[in-house]
Chains A and B, each alone.
Chain A
Amino acid sequence: MRSDVPAVMHSLHRDPALSRFDPLGRIIAFDDFDRGFCGWTQLVGNYEDDLDAMLPGYAQHVSPMLSTLGHWDAGSHGGVDGDYALKIATRPQAGAQNVAIKRLTFRHAGPIRLEAYVTFKPEATELKLSETDVRSFGFLFDLQVGDTAGAGAERVMPHMRFLNAADGKHVQKWQFKRQSVPIVPIGSENKTISHYHLAPDGWEDLEGGDQRLCYNEIPTKVNWHYLRFDFDLGAMQCTHFQCNDRVFDVSGFDSLRIPAMKNLWCMLNVAFFAEADTNKRSFLYLDSVCLSGEF
């Protein structure tokens, strides 16, 4: 055991479930999908009076599922340390997206850390490598300051995605989004709005964000990847981003920022998403997610 690791970390390293994470002082949620859905659900769009009011980007979303990563040729793949992973599946159309979300609030506007073990694959409908069928996968926070923040209070939405492919080209780079998208009033009572922040426009390259991930050699072999994203809820700034062995420069990262909304104080939502680049379902699998904080 490393001598420079604090005692609290030593105790975590002895816990088989947590030793593959590096959580901050308090664990807000530790979601191992061998235990079930753990509070992850479909991101449903906003509406009032009529479901037709829901924006098309949200209307396509369906519920996440618990998967053993069962494949037609090799059977169930399983997770990192158990049978199940949370599966986020798109519809079989180029550009289709799906999102799973966990909704919390925060009790202290300080540092938080998101860690996860994830993998992605297209549906194995062809006997081909299919490495460019998944357009992207990624994650986002949907955050809002507390209700005493005063003038200039913001809703802040850091987005990060791995752009795996675009129009058949194997791109493989991390991107973020800070460009606001149009806000659409929903209904007639002036209570609800909607904005499809995962729209394809407005993604920017993370500086030095090219990364070649382990995809493996046929569409039914998967390898799990480690993600870590640190964010300071006080400064509303990203402080660290890591995927496997690569730690990226986040000095140029920024979040989508819009004026605070009247019903979202202290919101702490975290979501993962998948996007298809061809007319084939794209799958993002989450083996486990650890959200921790310093408070």
Chain B
Amino acid sequence: MRMSTSAIVARNVVWSQRAHSEPYEAGWAENAVIFVRALRDAVGTGGRAHVEISPDGMNWVREGTSFDLPTERNAVSFARVTHFGNWLRLAGEFQNDSAVTLLVTLHLKS
């Protein structure tokens, strides 16, 4: 049977300016879906998410996948990622005073 898990890497946290989830090791997984749910309506115009990967969990680079973060309460956005090596995190980028309260979850499958 293939392995699968759901990991909660940010819960009920307010992202603004530049923010990111905690590093997560997932070298055993062949693919990942990263879901982001807004727990409240966003302030301002919302933000942009960027998937980041790392050789060591300390130095990060954009993987190339980006998507708009949700702006309405309970709205969900996501990205699919493969070939990410071992380390994954999601970074957020916001303009001006925009902010949103988020739940970020990784869904990993071998």
Contact = CB atoms under 8 A, between A and B. Distances in A.
Contacts of B28: 66, 84
Of A37, A44, A66, the most chain B CB neighbours within 10 A belong to A66
Secondary structure type dominating chain A contacts: loop
Contacts, number: 55
A143 B9 CA distance: 28
A63 B103 CA distance: 13
A36 B26 CA distance: 11
Report the contact-size class of chain A (Cβ under 8 Å from the partner).
Answer: 20 to 34
Contacts of B7: 62-63, 65
Interface in B1-46: 3, 5-12, 22-28, 39
Nearest to B4: A36
B97 interface: no
A51 interface: yes
Given A52-B12, A62-B8, A89-B23, A68 B86 contact: yes
Contact of A70 (B6, B8, B12, B27): B27
A123 B25 CA distance: 13
A39 B39 CA distance: 27
Given A63-B8, A70-B56, A91-B22, A51 B27 contact: no
A59 B86 contact: no
A70 to B, nearest CB: 6
Interface in A108-159: 123-125
Contact of B11 (A51, A84, A91): A51
A161 interface: no
Contacts of A91: 22
A68 B27 contact: yes
Secondary structure type dominating chain B contacts: loop
Contacts of A42: 8
Interface string B37-63: 001000000000000000111110000
A138 to B, nearest CB: 21
A68 B56 CA distance: 11
Nearest to B101: A51
A72 B3 contact: no
A146 B9 CA distance: 35
A248 B108 CA distance: 41
A87 interface: yes
A26 interface: no
A54 B12 contact: yes
Contact of B26 (A44, A65, A71): A65
Interface of B: 3, 5-12, 22-28, 39, 55-59, 86
12 contacts: A51-B12, A59-B11, A62-B8, A62-B22, A63-B8, A63-B9, A67-B25, A70-B57, A70-B86, A84-B28, A91-B22, A123-B57
Which 5 A-B pairs rank lowest in CB-CB distance, beginning with the nearest?
A72-B56, A63-B7, A51-B12, A65-B25, A67-B25
Given A54-B12, A72-B59, 16 more contacts: A36-B5, A44-B8, A51-B39, A52-B12, A62-B9, A62-B11, A63-B8, A66-B25, A66-B28, A67-B25, A68-B27, A70-B25, A70-B56, A87-B25, A123-B58, A125-B58
